[in-house]
Amino acid sequence: MNNPEPKTILGLARDFMESRILLTGAELNLFTLLAPAPLSAQELATRIGANLRALTILLDALAAMGLLVKQGDEYQCASAVSPFLSSDSPRTILPMVLHMAHMWERWSALTEAVQGRSVSGKPAASSRKADEQQAFVEAMHLIAAPQASRIVAAVEPGSSRILLDVGGASGTYTLAFLQAVPQMKATLFDRPEVIEMARKRLSEAGILARVTLVAGDFFRDELPGGHDLAFVSAIIHQNSPQQNLDLFSKVFHSLNPGGRIVIRDHVMSPDRTHPRDGAIFAVNMLVGTTGGNTYTYEEIKDGLSQAGFVRIRLLRAGEHMDALVEGFKPQ
């Protein structure tokens, strides 16, 4: 923090207030309900079954923050905000906001976690409820979609023909790879409920015929074989080092001789303070997983080497979980 002052520090301490107001508005779906036309607090309270006094206070705060517009006794979603917070908009980021709302409870236990009094007990992915799972997968698509083509270009997959997208979610990166390489086919591996989301997205994109969807859990199941490129995107941070070694070993066996693994994730500096996003994200893994973290290049390289990979290198540095590390299975 440059030139810290008491008001700056206090501002940082109370930033959670506006965040919580936004999250509650999203959880109540207020921005969608108030996008088409203005409604009074009473009309809205009747529609969603809310306490009128409490809802009015919340609506006034959202208006003060510029997320709603208040005229007389009626409220409407601000026109500049509506495309991003209404669920009906193709530009919506509402799933990501809802994912942040789901994270709120875990982050509230940070002090207990640091004191060793709070343990998740399950990998983050397997402990999510159905609605949280849906919000998470949609949020990951919103994050991945704008950068997927750039990431694929940095991977340079031109000579690859059979991709394994490990934990490929709804298929955002599978789609980007197949669009970049018309001769490529892909296997997308993820849990059964996520596979159905991928089936829908890839079918709508017209490429489902080029994709084999395989349901499973990489913590328990082996990965399908016969691939020359494996993409492991935004996964290793949720794992302990041993879990990553197990995963790298499974990927190694899924690849043909000479095949390549590419990992997309935060790659931390040796002192773990850069990139800033990665250091903060490590806290998210502390409160959300039993062993997750963000890792340095040397730690990732060590795991890959133990799994049998060679010619390991940092393919691309990044600030926002867009760093890439690659390694090869020997011929």
The sign of the dihedral angle between the CA atoms of 91, 196, 265, 156 is: negative
Looking up residue 220, the CATH number of its domain turns out to be: 3.40.50.150
Residue length of the chain = 331
Residues 129 and 26: their CA atoms lie apart, in Å, by: 18
φ, ψ dihedrals at 66, nearest 5° = 85, 5
Flag whether 1 is in a domain.
Answer: no
Work out the average pLDDT over 222-234.
97
Asked if the structure places residue 109 within a domain, the reply is no
**What is the per-residue pLDDT for 122?**
47
Q: Is the pLDDT of residue 146 over 90?
A: no
Q: Are residues 278 and 156 in the same domain?
A: yes
Asked if 25 contacts 67 with a C-beta cutoff of 8 angstroms, the reply is: yes
Does some domain include residue 19?
Answer: yes
- Per-residue pLDDT, 129: 62
In the prediction, which pLDDT does 328 show? 98
Task: Give percent above pLDDT 90 in the chain.
Answer: 83
Mean pLDDT of 2-22: 92
Is residue 104 in a domain?
A: no
Residue 17 shares a structural domain with residue 159: no
Question: pLDDT tens across 91-142, in order?
Answer: 888 988 998 998 998 999 999 999 998 655 444 444 456 666 666 677 677 7
CA–CA separation, 324 and 246 (whole Å): 19
Q: Which residue has the tokens 């009094």?
A: 117
**188 and 263 housed in the same domain:** yes
Reply yes or no on whether the pLDDT at 62 is more than 50.
yes
141 and 74 assigned to the same domain: no
What is residue 132's predicted lDDT score, i.e. its pLDDT? 60
CATH number of the domain encompassing residue 26: 1.10.10.10
In the prediction, which pLDDT does 126 show?
46
pLDDT for 118: 65
Last-in-domain residue among 40, 58, 83: 83
For residues 28 and 165, state if they share a domain: no
As a whole number, mean pLDDT of residues 19-42 equals: 97
Return the bridge partners of 68, or none: 77
- Domain end among 62, 83, 104: 83
Q: Is residue 275 part of a domain?
A: yes
> Is the residue at 166 inside a domain?
yes
- What mean pLDDT comes out for the span 209-222? 97
SS (H, E, C) the chain: CCCCCHHHHHHHHHHHHHHHHHHHHHHCCHHHHCCCCCEEHHHHHHHHCCCHHHHHHHHHHHHHCCCEEEECCEEEECCCCHHHHCCCCCCCCHHHHHHHHHHHHHHCCHHHHHCCCCCCCCCCHHHCCHHHHHHHHHHHHHHHCCCHHHHHHHHCCCCCCEEEEECCCCCHHHHHHHHHCCCCEEEEEECHHHHHHHHHHHHHCCCHHHEEEEECCCCCCCCCCCEEEEEEECCHHHCCHHHHHHHHHHHHHHEEEEEEEEEEECEECCCCCCCHHHHHHHHHHHHHCCCCCCEEHHHHHHHHHHHCCEEEEEEECCCCCCEEEEEECCC
Query: 25 pLDDT band (50/70/90 cuts)?
Result: very high
State the average pLDDT over residues 171-196. Answer: 95
| pLDDT (tens digit per residue) in 276-297 | 999 999 999 999 999 999 999 9
- pLDDT-derived band at 3 (thresholds 50, 70, 90) equals confident
Same domain, 64 and 161: no
Cα 222 from Cα 37, distance rounded (Å):
52
pLDDT tops 80 at residue 2: no
Per-residue pLDDT at 123: 47
Q: Taking a C-beta distance cutoff of 8 angstroms, is the pair 165, 234 a contact?
A: no
Most distant CA pair in the chain, distance: 73
- The residue type found at 315 is L
Look at residue 127 and tell me if it is in a domain.
no
Residue 278 lies in a domain: yes
**Does residue 144 sit in the same domain as residue 55?**
no
Least confident piece of the model among 135-144, 158-167, 178-187, 255-264: 135-144
pLDDT of residue 90: 84
Domain count, the chain: 2
Residues 186 and 286 in one domain: yes
Q: Which domain holds residue 71?
A: 6-83
Predicted pLDDT of residue 130? 65
- Whether the link from the prior residue into 192 is cis, omega within 30° of 0, is no
Q: Are residues 158 and 234 in the same domain?
A: yes
Same domain, 280 and 150: yes
189 CB-side CA count, 13 A: 24
Chain segment 150-166, per-residue pLDDT in tens: 999 999 998 999 999 99
Identify the domain boundary among 83, 117, 152: 83
